[in-house]
Amino acid sequence: MNPTDYRRTAEALNALTEHQYRVTQEGGTEPAFRNEYWNNHDAGIYVDVVSGQPLFSSTDKFDSGTGWPSFTRPIESDAVTTKTDRTYGMVRTEAISAGAGSHLGHVFDDGPRDAGGLRYCMNSAALRFVPAAELEEQGYGAYRGLFETTAPQTAEENAS
Active site residue 121: yes
Residue partners of 139: CB distance under 8 A and separation at least 6: 2, 4, 52
Contact status, residue 55 vs residue 104, Cβ threshold 8 Å: yes
How many residues in total does the chain contain?
160
Contact status, residue 16 vs residue 50, Cβ threshold 8 Å: yes
Distance in angstroms (rounded) separating the CA atoms of residues 17 and 113: 36
Could you say which of 45, 107, 121, 132 is catalytic? 121
Contact status, residue 30 vs residue 19, Cβ threshold 8 Å: yes
Strand ranges, E, within the chain: 44-48, 54-57, 61-62, 70-71, 80-85, 92-97, 103-108, 119-122, 127-131
Phi, psi of 50 (to 5 degrees): -85, -50
Tell me which residues are annotated as active site. 121
